Chain A
Amino acid sequence: MTMASPILELEGVSKNFGGLKVIDNLSFKVMPAERVALIGPNGAGKTTAFNLITDLYRVDSGRIVLDGRDITTVPSRKRIGLGIARSFQNIRLMPHLTVLENVMIGQSAHNASALAMFQPVNLFPGNRWRVHAREALGAAGLGQYALETTGALPYGIQKRIELVRALLSEPRILLLDEPAAGLNPSETEELRQQLNETSRRGVTLIVVEHDMHFIGAFCQRVVVLNFGCKIAECSPHEAQADPLVREAYLGSDEELGQTHAA
């Protein structure tokens, strides 16, 4: 695999929900280690695009290609093992597991075999998977929450736990659905550092985000969606000046160029 070939490619992907075309002939490429933003007004189909890439919904037509291999028919639970991990717009942690147990679920991608199920992760404090998960939490500054029940923690903390869980699957591509939404400025800054570090390790990042300040500072390229169609693919700076993009945001409840409210 040469550096010049894309790691992920969507080729004419479409998805209907009850006759409504939610994703319409969407194509784009992402290069290895790139940081790409997927933007567009509410309801444009950004989350659905992530749901198609992870097979939470199967595409109606088109192809999804990973490293030159067609993965369109690979079932959802196998895609994380191929290196595609995600976070959810509405956090989906397991409320009855502790924070540490939640992030250990992130290790499932490479531990889903029958034998791996016997790993005594909660029996011995020195179990290597447990230690590894603890270190990852510590590195993310979340060490003190390891044994807390997840459901009761503040929103910002849960968002960061979800990121650690995704990282523990050792992804090559990380899909983040509004990672900064609901975070205060200092939390957003911590998130940006965490993502910078992840990007430095060579992980490809695709980020859905409304905070253009965040995108401008972090992403090299944006793909703009409107009503399920790609209307622009350019640098963050160019997107803010693009008349089509500005028009898409007109009349929607958000504003392009808004920075996150403090």
Chain B
Amino acid sequence: MSEPVLATRNLCKTFNALVATDDVSIDLKPGEIHAIIGPNGAGKSTLIGQICGGIKPDAGSVHLGDSDVTNFSTAERAQAGLGRTFQISALAMEDTVLENVLLGVVGRSAKPWRFWSPALKARDLIESSMAALERVGLAEVCDQVTANLSHGQRRQLEVAVALALTPKAFVMDEPMAGLGAEGSHSMTDFLSELRHEAPILLVEHDMDAVFALADRISVLVYGRIIASGSVDEIKASKKVREAYLGEET
């Protein structure tokens, strides 16, 4: 088996009395999409926060490639190769679409200390940004102010910013949320290809998308991984159906 790109070992996190992450060990191997599913409030976003930084685990560790990044800041983890998208878009709403992606490109170059030459004339940076926008289908609206984008376009822009980082692993929190059937479809196609560039840890509520995309699924309930396996295994698991899928069907 190939070495995981990203892994957590025995992560634990409690908020006061609430156990949000309970001994979670997952990994992400090259070329795969590993989906994390679970009911609302199961602790998916909290888990992602611990992987990407911002939420400090009470115990356990996070590994990216060979390095233990548990004590890295969010920025250092991004530098080390984590590309994250947010469940609730965290974009610079006053800026244009292009400027938002440019931020990702600058982040990757780790050289924000350029004070004199205009950012929008830095040809190399603009080209990388446009390439990322092209891929998510936002190239035409590159000059629009982000606040004017539709919800779906903002989701795409989230992904474009992460693409601009050319990370070693993607961590995506509900990229399909609110996309509608058609948007969901094209995003599914897109992510399906993207996994070959860098594996994706995917948190998603859209079951059709998850079943279409995932190489592996882990089910998180009350902060615990109750099952982990292939799509068919998860579909067949009685435990999962009782705890989670059963509620819906």
A-B complex is real: no
